[in-house]
A and B are shown apart, each in its own frame.
Chain A
Amino acid sequence: MTMTAPKTALPPAPASGRGRPGHRSAARRREALTGYLFTAPTVIGFLVFILGPLVAALYLSLTKYNILTAPKFIGFDNYARMFRDERLATTYGSTVLYVGAAVVLINGFALLFAVLINQRLPRALTYVFRSAYFFPYLVALVYVSIIWQALFQKDTGILNYYITALGGERIDWLNSSEFSKVSVIIVDTWRNVGFAMLIFVAALQEVPKDMVEAARMDGANEWQVFRRIVLPMISQATFFNITITIIGAFQIYESIIVLTRGGPGDASRSVVMYIAEVAFNKFDMGYASAIAVTLFVIIMLVTMVQFRLRKSWVNNE
């Protein structure tokens, strides 16, 4: 609703003081100067802290650099080295698993809860649910991971207490090579589901009620209504959520530090943890930059493929 106003205001209305041609260029020049001044701090910050470092990372990725001696240009050796690096393959394997799990679990649960919450429930109830699901998202990933690592403890943790109480076996959540990854996925899903849910709820509220009613009148069952009307109508939100969860999951870092320290061995280590280790423990800055640049390119490619596919399934514009 709020967006209809800017649409009409968007074509720049003739500004004042532009009436006389002589005035016009001077006023324009002044306006342009103001524009540059207003944007200068942001642009400078962007150049110094994002674009500059990005270019520097590209350069460093082509060098051997250990901080103590000057960078030595070695062409694409670092990139070639990546293909022989088994630890990198392991960490990429885990990271891809985290990304896949995030896309499916976060968005699956978020959509389920969003649909449930979007029924005509009492206002207070809706508010309580929305708040409860959203709160973990506001708390630092480090803090929630600290809580979860206590809950995950094998002998003293609450999770295993309830599992054994129900007749199950104790699970070594943090120290087995399979379950360490599961733990990371659980915390990631738990923390992010609320945000994705809010996006879905906002989208669901935009679905025209009369359209849904009309379909029901025509004899469509609830599933058909959902599949044929609701889902296409919220595809914009679905697209946004999937993109955000992919980008986020590729960068999983601090939850693993707190929960498993990447272990056992490299079992739960993510690519980002590996980059930090190579760069700041081994001071192999060139190689770490090459891995980081590659990760960036992969995230960008996945996002671009998403945007491409968007045309085929996002129902908008």
Chain B
Amino acid sequence: MSNAAALPSRPGAGRPRSGKDGRRRRPRPGVGKTVSVVLLVLGAVGMIAPFLWMFTTSLRDASQAYDLPPQWLPTEWDWSNYVDAVSGPVPILKNMFNSAVIAIAVSIGMILTAPMAGYAFAKLDFPGKNSIFVGLLSSLMVPAQVTIIPLFLLMRTFGLLDNPLSLILPGITGALGVFLLRQFFLGLPQEIIDAARMDGATAWQTYRLIALPLAKNAVSTLGVITFLGSWNAYFAPSIFLNSTDTATLPLGLVLMLGPYGAGNVAQVMAATTIAIAPALIVFLVAQRWIIASLTQSAVKG
């Protein structure tokens, strides 16, 4: 109730102003828009500034890292912090390799299992289909904190603690991917499937040779989202992995940062810049798809 009441009033706080601008906009179309752009620029600067600071600091000597007033643009292009970061006591490169292995394995598993299930839920008929699907979907509501203790005990029993398999095995299936791909396959005209079956293709061939290739974009999006999710994960890795050699990159960086940020800040920022690179690449290459697939399910219900 309070949510419902609070939300409309909240944007209202900033809104009447632009409302007035809006009324003035008819005679003078420029003003409202100028105000909007200024506000948006301020917001965008706030979003990007921390990353800019990270990058310039990574290029500076540690003694100048905290120079005030802050230098927003690189004053020098000294890459030695990067060299020092990867050759320091925390094996950052090894950690990155660990993260990559887990993220790639999980992504491959996911793009093998989720489209298959999504296709079955969308295009095949079998008893219990709907209840199974609803059960799977409800698993999205189960927070990781509830299952983490039994999972820890399970991994311990099978000797998988401190082993990347403890993160790979639970990661290769998941309801979100099934949901996304089911949505896609529902949109696929039934005639395409029927035509293939009529020509004598088996269910597997129809899926593998007809349906799956058409889902290329949806599958790529799923792969990218899964990769990033695994690459960025902290909670489960922090509990299942407990040595610097098996640690993933987020764990390594937290180690490097040290308690209360006592680590060498220039080196930490260099390592963080490296760690962020995959997100940046994904962002530059696949932003459009990701945004489309993430927003679609929310808006169209």
Contact = CB atoms under 8 A, between A and B. Distances in A.
Q: Do A and B come from one complex?
A: yes
B214 interface: no
Contacts, number: 357
A108 B191 CA distance: 45
A108 B6 CA distance: 9
Nearest to A196: B298
A299 B141 contact: yes
A148 to B, nearest CB: 6
Interface residues of B, number: 126
B7 A107 contact: yes
B145 A275 contact: yes
B132 A43 contact: yes
A188 B31 CA distance: 32
Contact of B47 (A5, A15, A132, A293): A132
A313 B253 contact: no
A10 B190 CA distance: 9
**DSSP class of A's interface residues: helix, strand, loop or mixed?**
helix
B282 interface: yes
Contacts of A165: 69
A22 B95 CA distance: 60
B134 to A, nearest CB: 12
A299 B189 contact: no
A51 B217 CA distance: 31
A242 B3 contact: yes
Nearest first, the 8 closest Cβ-Cβ pairs linking A and B are A45-B173, A35-B126, A222-B22, A140-B232, A53-B150, A56-B150, A38-B120, A53-B147
Interface of B: 1, 3-4, 6-8, 10-16, 18-20, 22-23, 32-33, 36-37, 39-40, 43-44, 46-48, 50-51, 53-54, 57, 66, 68-70, 112-114, 116-117, 119-121, 124-127, 129, 132, 135-136, 139, 141-154, 156, 169-170, 172-175, 178, 183, 186-191, 193-194, 197-198, 203-204, 207, 228, 231-235, 238-239, 250, 253-254, 257, 259-261, 265, 268-269, 272, 275-276, 279-280, 282-283, 287, 290-291, 294-296, 298-301
Interface of A: 2-3, 5-6, 9-10, 12-13, 15-17, 28, 30-36, 38-39, 41-46, 49-54, 56-57, 60, 67, 103-104, 107-109, 111-113, 115-117, 119, 121, 125, 128-136, 138-144, 146-151, 153, 156-158, 161, 165, 174, 190, 194-195, 198-199, 201-203, 206, 221-223, 226-227, 231, 236-238, 240-242, 247, 250-251, 253-254, 257-258, 261, 272, 275-276, 279-280, 285, 288-289, 292-293, 295-296, 299-300, 303, 306, 309, 312-313, 316-317
